[in-house]
Structure 1
Amino acid sequence: MLNLSVIIPCYHDDEKLARLLGQLQKMLYPPLEIIVVDGGRSQTCLEICTQYGAQWLGSEPCRGRQLLEGAEKAQGDAFWFLHADLRLPADPLTIIAKVLTQGAVGGYFRFQFDEPRAWPASILELAIALRSRFGVPYGDQGIFVKRDTYFAAGGHAPWPLFEEAPLVKGLRSLGHFQPLLEPIWVDPRRWQHEGWWRRTWHNRKLAIRFACGTSPDKLAQHYRARRP
């Protein structure tokens, strides 16, 4: 079985992190290590990591830097990057190992909204699948990658938003980057809080501004201002 390092950036996500670590602990084939990079430097987060046998790293609250720090610490042959609020499929490590041993440099899971769902969810999931295939899958889709290829591609950008964009571009230039049919479930709370279409339009505006050259640091200020 592939030696896999799981890397989780978090920032005051204690309850969600505990649920995710509980899922990882129950896996049929557990990862080599779990590294939680805590942008809040929280004592509670440290205690949760100790409870579930995860490594804890204190960091500044910048997701790109957190991911880079976790990757530099990791010892695995491959890395799996997860957000704290995800729900995982039953046996994801076997799926990842199969894809990587068959020659892919990395890949990502299919985005699916968790419960409670609303009718726009299915439409948005299809749109996200198309965006991911022809553009960039984001960090909430469980991006995984071989260790050497990750560093060859330059790793995550040290940005608070869109940190995976240059990484995905680099990976695709180095080999096959596999989209999976297997879903990973994403917490829909932000879409519920703001409205499904309003939240989607806000995300698209950020992506358009990023593509037009707006700094990720500036975009992050608008993103944080709308968080529930």
Structure 2
Amino acid sequence: MPAPLSVVIPTLNAADDLPQSLSSLMNGAEAGLIREVVISDGGSNDATFEIAEASGATLIKGEPGRGKQLAAGADAARGEWLLFLHADTALTRDWVERARDHMSNSPGKAAYFTLAFRSDNPMAKHVAARANRRAKLLGLPYGDQGLLLPRSLYEEVGGYQDLPLMEDVALVRAIGKRRLNMLSAESRTSAAKYERDGWRKRSWKNAWLITRYLLGASPEKLAAAYR
């Protein structure tokens, strides 16, 4: 019987972070949980292709746009369960046990991991804690927290939309808070953007963009503001 889980990772010039992300998945393959890793690339011109091929991942190429890439990766995947993971995110080793428990005990629900940043900055834990509280209270995890769900649920809610921004928020809103579980394993994501822009400035900017989206602002306008 094939392993149940397909992992989908969207990439665009992700050579610096992708090896760590792929390495964190190795114990899932060893445990017989992962059937395949699908790298959905949007036109990289660095070593992303070589890294993907060396890892044994399935590589598909298309136009840039994370929502579009995630949807293409899901279409190419063959597993009964899907795990969407950003290329700059690595999971802690206990993710396999937590994911397997969820898949066995909550077969009709989605799940995401506890957010953490790969940074020694004191603000890192503060920002992550605030994001985790928001995810639990409102059912709005960041895309950086990964998303694990059965293919049947993914298809039921229409999958990822081709949006220039907020494709992750749109999907978890369609799933609904009652069908979202938070797993204790951590998704440790890059803090590069926070360290570049400033922790407070970046976190409040993200919060304001999400608020505007929930109030009805178009993803196109938000993408322009984000850039």
When the two structures are superposed, what TM-score results if normalisation uses the length of structure 1? 0.89
Matches within 5 A, 1:37-52: 37-42=40-45, 44-52=47-55
Taking a change above 3 Å as real, the CA distance of residues 7 and 64 of structure 1, as seen in their structure-2 partners, is same
The 3-state SS of whatever aligns with 2:164 is coil
Alpha-carbon distance between aligned partners in 1 of 2:173 and 2:225, rounded to the nearest angstrom: 25
Preserved CA contact (<8 Å) 2:41 2:59: yes
Shift, 1:168, TM fit: 1.4
Shift, 1:60, TM fit: 1.4
Matches within 5 A, 1:147-166: 147-166=151-170
Shift, 1:29, TM fit: 1.9
Letter paired with 1:44: A
Letter paired with 1:10: T
Preserved CA contact (<8 Å) 1:41 1:58: no
Task: Select 1:183's aligned residue among 167, 182, 186.
Answer: 186
Shift, 1:150, TM fit: 0.7
**Unmatched segments (≥5 aa) in structure 1:** none
Give 2:146's aligned residue. Answer: 142
Taking a change above 3 Å as real, the CA distance of residues 134 and 157 of structure 1, as seen in their structure-2 partners, is farther
Alpha-carbon distance between aligned partners in 1 of 2:181 and 2:44, rounded to the nearest angstrom: 34
Taking a change above 3 Å as real, the CA distance of residues 122 and 46 of structure 1, as seen in their structure-2 partners, is closer
The 3-state SS of whatever aligns with 1:217 is helix
In the alignment, structure 1 residue 102 sits paired with structure 2 residue 105: yes
Alpha-carbon distance between aligned partners in 1 of 2:121 and 2:132, rounded to the nearest angstrom: 18
Task: Select 1:192's aligned residue among 192, 195, 214.
Answer: 195
Alpha-carbon distance between aligned partners in 1 of 2:184 and 2:65, rounded to the nearest angstrom: 30
The 3-state SS of whatever aligns with 1:14 is coil
Shift, 1:41, TM fit: 4.4
CA deviation map 1:116-143 (0-9, x unaligned): 3222222222211121112311211011
Alpha-carbon distance between aligned partners in 2 of 1:198 and 1:41, rounded to the nearest angstrom: 29
Alpha-carbon distance between aligned partners in 1 of 2:188 and 2:86, rounded to the nearest angstrom: 11
Alpha-carbon distance between aligned partners in 2 of 1:165 and 1:192, rounded to the nearest angstrom: 23
Alpha-carbon distance between aligned partners in 2 of 1:23 and 1:93, rounded to the nearest angstrom: 10
Q: Over aligned residues, Cα RMSD in angstroms?
A: 1.9
In the alignment, structure 1 residue 123 sits paired with structure 2 residue 126: yes
Alpha-carbon distance between aligned partners in 1 of 2:131 and 2:151, rounded to the nearest angstrom: 26
> What is the count of residue pairs matched by the alignment?
222
Alpha-carbon distance between aligned partners in 2 of 1:160 and 1:84, rounded to the nearest angstrom: 18
Letter paired with 2:31: Y
Give 2:31's aligned residue. Answer: 29
Q: Which moved more, 1:39-48 or 1:155-164?
A: 39-48
Shift, 1:160, TM fit: 2.4
In the alignment, structure 1 residue 170 sits paired with structure 2 residue 170: no
**Unmatched segments (≥5 aa) in structure 2:** none
When the two structures are superposed, what TM-score results if normalisation uses the length of structure 2? 0.90
Alpha-carbon distance between aligned partners in 1 of 2:165 and 2:159, rounded to the nearest angstrom: 14
Preserved CA contact (<8 Å) 1:41 1:59: no
